[in-house]
Structure 1
Amino acid sequence: MKRFILLVLDFFYQPFAKLMPLQTFRYLACGSGNTAMDILLYYVSFHFILHETPVQFSIFTISAHIAALFMAMIVTFPTGFLLSKFIVFSESNLRGRVQLVRYFMLVGICICLNYGFMKLFVEYFHIYPTISKVLTTIFVVGFSYLTQKKFTFKVKASA
Structure 2
Amino acid sequence: MRKVLLKFIDFFYPPFSGLLSLHTFRYIVSGGTNAASGIVLYFLIYNYVLHQKDVYIPFKPGMITAHVATLIIETPLTFLIGFMLNKYVVFTQSELKGRIQMFRYALVVGANLMLNYGMIKIMVESFDFYPTISKIITTVVLAVASYFIQTHFSFKVKK
In structure 1, C-alpha distance between the alignment counterparts of 2:157 and 2:19, rounded to whole Å:
23
Equivalent residues in 2 for 1:65-144, closer than 5 Å:
65-144=67-146
Q: Alpha-carbon deviation of 1:95? A: 1.1
**Aligned-partner Cα distance in 1 for 2:136–2:129:** 11
Q: CA deviation at 1:156?
A: 2.2
Cα deviation, residue 70, structure 1: 1.7
Counterpart position of 2:18? 18
Q: Which runs of 5+ in 1 are unaligned?
A: none
Distance across 2 between alignment mates of 1:156 and 1:25:
21
TM-score, structure 2 length as denominator? 0.96
What is the aligned partner in structure 1 of residue 64 from structure 2? 62
Q: Which amino acid aligns with 1:24?
A: T
In structure 2, the gaps of 5 or more residues are none
* Aligned mates of 1:66, 1:84 — CA distance in 2: 26
Deviations 1:6-44 (A, max 9, x none): 000111111111110001100000111111111000000
Q: TM-score, normalised by structure 1?
A: 0.96
Q: 1 CA distance for matches of 2:35 and 2:66?
A: 19
> Which one-letter code corresponds to 1:85 in the other structure?
K
Matches within 5 A, 1:26-45: 26-45=26-45
Give the paired residue count: 157
Identical residues among aligned pairs (%): 44
8 Å Cα contact 1:94-1:156 kept in structure 2:
no
- Please give the alpha-carbon distance, in whole angstroms, between the structure 1 residues aligned to 2:143 and 2:104: 16
Distance in 2 between residues matched to 1:75 and 1:109, nearest whole Å: 16
One-letter amino acid matched to 2:105:
Y
Post-superposition shift, 1:61? 1.0
Q: How does 1:140-159 map to 2 (within 5 A)?
A: 140-157=142-159
Q: Within 1, Cα distance between the matches of 2:95 and 2:115? A: 28
Partner in structure 2 of residue 49 of structure 1:
49
- Give, in whole Å, the separation in 2 of the partners of 1:129 and 1:79: 22
Residues 55 and 63 in structure 1, CA contact (< 8 A), matched pair in contact too: yes
Question: What is the identity, as a one-letter code, of the residue corresponding to 2:87?
Answer: K
| In structure 2, distance between residues paired with 1:134 and 1:119 | 13
The alpha carbon displacement at 1:142 in A equals 1.0
